[in-house]
Amino acid sequence: DEDALAQYYGQIKKIDLLPEFVLHVAWFYACPLPESTIRWHDKTMPIGCGLFKFRNSKLNKYTETNYFSHVVAIEPLKKGVYKIFPRTVVKFLALVKGFKSVYMGLVEEEEETNKVGKICVLEHLRFCHKIPTFCLTEERGGSLQGFWELDPAGMPLYL
């Protein structure tokens, strides 16, 4: 992909270690969207959240792991259909000055319960993928405690 961001979901079905390393992967495809979903104008944009299924039983083989980003939690619904959704509550973050991938919450902890956002099911297309995050604790002598580092490999080059 042009932006090198995770845009597709696959399930590793088999791993061969000998005579060479090979991953056997089945790719998920998005199920048709409900009519009430707010849709993208660009019909070619990948769908990152919703219901997914395997289109066929064909497995793709990969000898390198650089095609894969991170593990994503999926929830099986019915035979062959899986649910991949963002958390239903999100925290709004602001970039910490002097860092490229460290963010802090926009509100103080005591106000936090009033400043979370609810994600309406109709707006799930706004989310392209889950960026791995790490809560910072002792970094820089504890000055970044409670801040979040977002995995730079999962972020767009230009925000």
How large is the greatest C-alpha to C-alpha distance in the chain, in angstroms? 57
State the Cα–Cα distance between residues 76 and 98, nearest whole angstrom: 42
Per-residue pLDDT of 71-96, as tens digits, reads 777 888 888 898 887 665 567 788 99
Q: Where are the domains of the chain?
A: 10-84, 89-154
Per-residue pLDDT of 10-39, as tens digits, reads 889 999 999 999 999 999 888 877 777 666
pTM: 0.62
